[in-house]
Amino acid sequence: MSSDADVDPSEYDALEDADVTLRVNDHGLHIADDEVTGVSSQGQTPEEALENLAAAVESYEEATADDPGDDWL
């Protein structure tokens, strides 16, 4: 997980089994990376970065699911 002990990615369903790394870029934004999917997101705080990452991972998983369902019709 990250070096920031105050945040817990497993609080988000989409990140429950994820290998998440948190870092801060040169502009002070917090970046959250899911090492398994390669999806990244950012936020003003570590919590915001994780929340955004969870939403991005959910979208990624929906987009890459094997079953297209009837939504494509």
Provide the pLDDT confidence category of residue 3 given band limits of 50, 70 and 90: very low
Mean pLDDT of 39-44: 97
- Report yes or no on 1 lying in a domain: no
For the residues of 15-36, what is the DSSP string, one character each?
A: GTT--EEEEE-TTS-EEEEETT
Contacts for 63 with CB less than 8 Å, ≥ 6 apart: none
Q: What are phi and psi of 50, to 5 degrees?
A: -70, -40
Residue 24 is part of which domain span?
9-57
Tokens coding 63 = 């987009």
Least confident span in 6-10, 11-15, 44-48: 6-10
Residue 4 lies in a domain: no
Query: What pTM does this model have?
Result: 0.80
Looking at the 3D structure of the chain, how many domains does it have?
Answer: 1
Query: Average model confidence (pLDDT) for the chain?
Result: 87
Any domain includes 51 = yes
Is 68 part of any domain? Answer: no
**64 part of a folded domain:** no
Answer whether residue 4 shows pLDDT above 60: no
The answer to whether residue 3 is domain-embedded is no
In a domain, 63, yes or no: no
* In a domain? residue 29: yes
Mean pLDDT within 63-71: 73
